[in-house]
Amino acid sequence: MASRTSPKDRVWSRREIEGLIAQGRKIIILDGQVIKADAWLPYHPGGNLAILHMVGRDGTDEIRALHSRETLGQMQKYVIGRIEGRWQNFTPPIQGGVFTESIGKGGGELQEQEDSSSCSSTAPSPIFEPTDGLRHRNHTETSSISSLASDDDLPEAAEQNATPKNHYFVCNNPSNSLLNYPALNATAQDAVISKYRALEVRLRAAGLYNCNYTAYAWEITRYLFLITSCFACLHIQQYAIAGIFLGLFWHQLVFTAHDAGHMGITHNFHLDTSIGIFIANFCGGLSIGWWKRSHNVHHIVTNMPEHDQDIQHMPFFAVSTKFFQSLYSTYHGRVLAFDKLAQVLLSVQHWTYYPILALAHFNLYVQSYIYLFSKQPPRKGPAWWHWYLELVGIAVFWYWFGYLVCASIPTHLSRFAFVMTSHVFSSPLHVQITLSHFAMSTVDVGVAESFAQRMLRTTMDVDCPAWLDFVHGGLQFQAVHHLFPRLPRHNLRKAQSYVREFCEEVGIPYVIYGFGRGNLEVLGRLEEVARQVSYFQECQKVAAKDLIEGHHAVS
């Protein structure tokens, strides 16, 4: 009797996989296996967008970084075959990739090259958009960046080996020039991937994936002190001071919610999610489900203006002149309009940065409730009950915070003082989050770049003494965290030395600044973009004048 071949043993060609994606199939490459994720898409606890950004790509490093070994094992049920050799990434459809079901004879190879070289749905403006030194020191794969710069520019820059003349941003920050990074060819990127995977093995062998529960005992002690102080001040009618303690309580508590969202506490999906729901929903009135959906996307498409909602703050902030093109946000599903209001607000964004972030907590309520009352939360699959628990948590929060606390404060002025101080004093969190990304590269160099290199190019760490770690809550090690999202927070400082060594070995800059210098870097980026708004407005005026004068001349 002839043996039957398992469907998982089928070898798929690149052309066949392109055809599947053209038909709307959600195909991802994982460890050389072909994953068909269509059936899982509506049930993915991290949202559908995280999967859509991986379609047509080798998502091995991204998937391993964000999922437990148990989850990786469960993915085997979606395997439909395997590939042979090195996989050359397609640009996912959500990012503008174009796929065809059939290609005429002799045109297949050319079409594949065109598809694989498409790396951005929107090219930068040749006048306003800094290209972050896209003329790379290795030009053997200029096709991977062809959509980011004009063909006429490439030869000249190749000869000069310098950043283009339209590069407005000061390049003190190493991430602002690709000249500082390994080339985007297969040999260089495979070396980065190999050493990154070896680094993960070293961290696991060193026990850095084991949670330090003693550290959480100290964290809980700090939380109890802050919330007890809040209620004590409420009792003696010191409402503004009570709000300060509550704001600090929320600020500290979010760090543990962040740990839970990444399964960095118990490493059990449901248990860590429950911890996150208790902290975010019951204690803070926010949705951990919304945070996980947006944060997972952020970890995959970090600092990509069209896709990363963590840098999509129009009309208040823009960290790249790409936003002048009224980009379509694949996360929000709408255009981020660069209208008159945006031009006014962006022109002073370096002055309004801190005042607006001081009120950012209120925006988190809005985003959380938009998510909870939409069709985005999974209603089926393993996380079906999380949505119901989240709704209960929101109701409980507004009962204790809105009714038992705020409604019991006797005067409107005292109530206002309590609410504002509690929300403003939790705002350092928003500075800490934006600090690690706003000043970093926002250029999409295409699908040839490895996960590890992209994370280090778009993320910086913040230097501080060890005794201040509790103030930053692990967010000062964002570069380390982006490489290994599930690494427990209290082990990030130990992992930092390993990451530094890795960066030196592969030739990737490890960007780290002190808190003060980091803030100056962010303000500098915001000011430069604000200056470009002024240039843009001047160009509009000149163009309008030329048009009017031209019409008069014709008449």
DSSP string, 435-482: HTTTTS------TTS-HHHHHHHH--EEE--GGGHHHHTTGGGHHHHH
223 part of a folded domain = yes
Max Cα–Cα distance, the chain, nearest Å: 90
Query: Which amino acid is it at 175?
Result: S
Bridge partners of 328, per DSSP, are 335
Peptide bond before residue 93 is cis, with ω within 30 degrees of 0: no
pTM of the full structure: 0.85
Are 502 and 403 in the same domain? Answer: yes
Q: Which of 490, 359, 349 lies closest to 429 in space, CA to CA?
A: 359
171 part of a folded domain = no
Q: What is the distance of C-alpha 52 from the center of its chain? A: 15
Quick one: pLDDT at residue 4? Answer: 63
Are 232 and 364 in the same domain? Answer: yes
Of 95, 126, 148, the position where a domain reaches its end is 95
Quick one: pLDDT at residue 202? Answer: 97
Are 71 and 191 in the same domain? Answer: no
Beta strands at 33-36 and 461-463: parallel, antiparallel or unpaired: unpaired
Query: Whole-angstrom Cα distance, residue 250 to residue 227?
Result: 9
Question: Total domain count for the chain?
Answer: 2
Are 378 and 502 in the same domain? Answer: yes
Quick one: pLDDT at residue 540? Answer: 74
Where in the sequence is the domain holding 348, given as residue range(s)?
A: 178-515
Are 305 and 200 in the same domain? Answer: yes
CATH code of residue 75: 3.10.120.10
Are 86 and 224 in the same domain? Answer: no
| Cβ within 8 Å of residue 224, ≥6 positions away | none
Are 84 and 189 in the same domain? Answer: no
- Placement of tokens 């994606």 in the chain: 21
432 part of a folded domain = yes
- Placement of tokens 């992209």 in the chain: 454
Are 401 and 274 in the same domain? Answer: yes
∠ CA 472-474-480, rounded to 5°: 130
Quick one: pLDDT at residue 430? Answer: 92
137 part of a folded domain = no
Are 283 and 391 in the same domain? Answer: yes
Question: Which residue blocks in 206-339 are alpha helix, DSSP H?
Answer: 213-235, 239-261, 269-277, 288-300
117 part of a folded domain = no
116 part of a folded domain = no
Question: Which residue blocks in 32-84 are alpha helix, DSSP H?
Answer: 48-52, 60-66, 69-74
375 part of a folded domain = yes
CB 103 within 8 A of CB 78: no
Query: Whole-angstrom Cα distance, residue 33 to residue 36?
Result: 10
pLDDT tens for the chain, 555 residues: list them: 445 667 888 999 999 999 999 999 999 999 999 999 999 998 888 889 999 999 999 999 999 999 988 889 889 999 999 999 999 999 999 999 999 986 543 333 334 444 443 433 344 333 344 444 443 434 333 333 333 333 333 333 333 333 333 333 334 677 777 889 999 999 999 999 999 999 999 999 999 999 999 999 999 999 999 999 999 999 999 999 999 999 999 999 999 999 999 999 999 999 999 999 999 999 999 999 999 999 999 999 999 999 999 999 999 999 999 999 999 999 999 999 999 999 999 999 999 999 999 999 999 999 999 999 999 998 888 899 999 999 999 999 999 999 999 999 999 999 999 999 999 999 999 999 999 999 999 998 989 999 999 999 999 999 999 999 999 999 999 999 999 999 999 999 999 999 999 999 999 999 999 999 999 999 999 999 999 998 887 887 777 777 776 655 544
125 part of a folded domain = no
Phi, psi values for residue 347, rounded to 5°:
-70, -15
Query: Whole-angstrom Cα distance, residue 284 to residue 367?
Result: 14
Are 199 and 73 in the same domain? Answer: no
Are 89 and 184 in the same domain? Answer: no
Are 350 and 452 in the same domain? Answer: yes
505: left (phi over 0), alpha (psi -120 to 50) or beta: alpha
Helices then strands (H, E): number in the chain?
22, 7
Q: Which two tokens stand for residue 164?
A: 């283009």
Quick one: pLDDT at residue 245? Answer: 98
CA R_g for the chain: 25
Of 95, 129, 152, the position where a domain reaches its end is 95
Question: Which residue blocks in 6-162 are alpha helix, DSSP H?
Answer: 14-22, 48-52, 60-66, 69-74, 108-117, 153-160
Counting Cα atoms < 13 Å in the Cβ hemisphere of 243 gives 17
